[in-house]
Copies of this chain bind each other. A is one copy, B any other.
Amino acid sequence: MSLLTVGTVAFDTIETPFGKAEMCIGGACTYISWAASYFTDKINLVSIVGDDFPQEEIELLHKRGVNTDGLEIVEGKKSFFWAGKYHDNMNQRDTITTDLNVLADFDPQLPQSYKSSDFLMLGNLTPEIQLQVLEQMETKPKLVVMDTMNFWMDIALDALHKVIAKVDVITINDEEARQLSGEHALVTAAKKIHEMGPKIVIIKKGEHGALLFNEGQIFSAPALPLAQVFDPTGAGDTFAGGFIGYLAGNSDLSFENLKRAVIYGSTMASFCVEEFSIEKLKNLTQEMIKERAEKFVEISGVSLQH
């Protein structure tokens, strides 16, 4: 099934306790599209870059089956740039620089062929742009997933609520779920967020795994205990990409299959954090993904039968 992915395609400069990567490839849509490309083809990417963005990176996306007709390249301007530095515990980070550059004028126009995409992934972006993309769809997608962050809750809550009301799935981290709902207990937070629109709520808890809430059912997915998180940048986007990519690949929206999609999203995120940028995501095989996903199942499997 076809999958439309929207979000930033950008440069990042990242500093972690383990090293620094200058001007590496980043952006929510980049991570989403790479992760999804292991599960489905016919990915339609919508984003914007400047003329500084490397053509070979676009070529690599093509080779992964990603259609970049919707990637606007603005001559004489620079791509979106973010620089951040992680604290020693890797759970917190400071933003050093945010240069919007081309993103300041992003006015996405979907190519005609995109408007009937079966699945839609609204990556983290201003809610206004997420809405703008959603409204250009000519057929209702089988599933619309949105990712967002606390920043939009702080400065664009009304617009954010408009998008949330129109999507099927929201992926959000635990602190953001608490902020959005005003509830501390995550099960109550999920209930409040259901009431805002999405019938499926996924709360990402980083090193503690993820919770999937759907029509009164709950799935608690483990995280893989990793000896080292090298760079967490893009992990949430990669999770979302793996999640929707897996669903677009088999088009089964049963709860059992949503659970599998959460495991595959978590699997892709666990690879993402092992290297800077999308480096690890560029060099995966189906065998590696299968093996890692099985580890998630293995470490959480238990039977009470004695």
Q: What residues make up the interface of A, taking CB atoms closer than 8 Å to B? A: 88-90, 184-188, 190, 205, 207-209, 211, 218-223, 225-229, 250, 252, 256-257, 259-260, 263, 293-294, 297, 299-304, 306
Contacts and interface: CB of A to CB of B under 8 A. Distances in A.
Contacts of A306: 250, 252, 257, 260
A215 to B, nearest CB: 14
Q: Which of A218, A250, A300 has the most CB of B within 10 A?
A: A300
Contacts of A185: 225-229
Copies in the complex: 2
A205 B260 CA distance: 24
Given A208-B205, A208-B208, A256 B303 contact: yes
Nearest to A213: B225
A187 B229 CA distance: 11
Contact of A219 (B184, B294, B297, B302): B302
Contacts of A229: 185
Contacts of A250: 306
A218 to B, nearest CB: 5
